[in-house]
Amino acid sequence: MRAMLFDKPGQPLRLADVPEPEAGPGELVIDVAACGVCRTDLHLVDGELDIADPPRILGHQIVGVVRGSDRRVGVPWLGWTCGECEYCRSDRENLCDRARFTGRDIHGGFGEVAKADERFCFPIPAEFPDLQAAPLLCAGLIGFRALRMAGDPARLGLYGFGAAAHIICQVAVHEGRRVFAFTRRGDERSAALARELGAEWTGESATSPPEPLDAAIIFAPVGELVPAALRATAKGGTVVCAGIHMSDIPSFPYRVLWGERTLRSVANLTRADGHELLALAPRVPIHTHVRDYPLEHANQALADLRAGEIEGAAVIDVAAR
């Protein structure tokens, strides 16, 4: 099968022919149709997150059909947990110290065939074509978990309007929340998409919203946005850092946090998050905006994501020839 291989940080992915995976007990072999491109993939390529045993097939927003059936499934970032540790036994499997992650510890979806632990696969709602379903499996799931961690805000700020924010904006508006979207300077395309999806205000990340926020979610991996979001948040509000990696957070005066504001992070996802979001998605309904790339152009997809050229989400159309 064809796959794009990661060899080491700083090098482009390499197109290669590799053996198809074989399923072990409890595993599925999946003919991959599409795989979303995530900022986590950039962190892996750049060496900001480790891959212990390269070469590795990246990609953790997989949509495909189980070999020998017509069953369509999605494979997310969380690929395996031990089920035995204190985190797993307390419904916090996303924090399992022994967890294995798709596209990092387990070969992912930037290839024509993948295998996955059946327990960590989700059924894909029929309403979503393959390309539109793929971003739900990480951008959607992490955004959804971050939204739930934000509490019940009436006024929600979203910092960085990319793949995750454009999905969660729709969920938040569906739930009756007022959305304030923060974008990079000069990024009018993302601002326009935010307004199209229901945000009532858009502005540059360094600016203040017209009124205090009840909560903010930071999707951009930029540490300096943390004190900015705290300053924009009302007393008692919550700021959620939704990325797996972020640049260093600069120091800030205690008064920015004071007033019972909460600063927290979100790590990975649980299977419960996945089932809840995928049940909700058709009811919103969520419309994912995607730019698709053939498998051999995965490096271009990563470059466009790095440059901020993607409106919505990037997806590898693995089935395209």
Question: Where among 224, 244, 265 does a domain terminate?
Answer: 265
Helices 271-280, 139-149: inter-axial angle, 10-degree rounding: 100
- Round the average pLDDT of the chain to a whole number and report it: 97
Work out the pLDDT band at 320, boundaries 50, 70, 90: confident
- Looking at the structure, do residues 179 and 240 belong to the same domain, yes or no? yes
Q: Which helix (H) or strand (E) holds 182?
A: strand 178-183
- Looking at the structure, do residues 27 and 117 belong to the same domain, yes or no? yes
Q: What percent of the chain has pLDDT over 70?
A: 100
- Looking at the structure, do residues 85 and 157 belong to the same domain, yes or no? no
Q: Give the domain CATH number at 157.
A: 3.40.50.720
Q: Give the domain CATH number at 29.
A: 3.90.180.10
pLDDT of 268: 95
The predicted model scores a pTM of 0.96
Q: Buried (b) or exposed (e) across 49-61, using 16+ Cβ within 10 A?
A: bebeeeebbbbbb
Question: Where among 246, 265, 284 does a domain terminate?
Answer: 265
Question: Where among 226, 246, 265 does a domain terminate?
Answer: 265
- Looking at the structure, do residues 126 and 253 belong to the same domain, yes or no? no
Predicted confidence (pLDDT) per residue in 102-115, tens digit: 999 999 999 999 99
Helices 188-196, 163-174: inter-axial angle, 10-degree rounding: 20
d(CA 205, CA 244): 20
- Mean pLDDT over 260-284 rounds to 97
d(CA 136, CA 134): 5
Containing structural domain, residue 163? 140-265
- Looking at the structure, do residues 18 and 129 belong to the same domain, yes or no? yes
Helices assigned H by DSSP within 138-270: 139-149, 163-174, 188-196, 225-232, 254-257
Closest by Cα among 271, 221, 226, 286 to 253: 226
- Looking at the structure, do residues 108 and 158 belong to the same domain, yes or no? no
Q: Structural domain tally of the chain?
A: 2
pLDDT of 321: 67
- Looking at the structure, do residues 57 and 120 belong to the same domain, yes or no? yes
- Looking at the structure, do residues 86 and 7 belong to the same domain, yes or no? yes
Q: Is the pLDDT confidence value at 281 over 70?
A: yes
Q: Which position has the token pair 């960085």?
A: 160
- Looking at the structure, do residues 278 and 260 belong to the same domain, yes or no? no
Predicted confidence (pLDDT) per residue in 154-204, tens digit: 999 999 999 999 999 999 999 999 999 999 988 999 999 999 999 999 999
Token output for 62: 């997989």
- Looking at the structure, do residues 6 and 124 belong to the same domain, yes or no? yes
- Looking at the structure, do residues 23 and 77 belong to the same domain, yes or no? yes
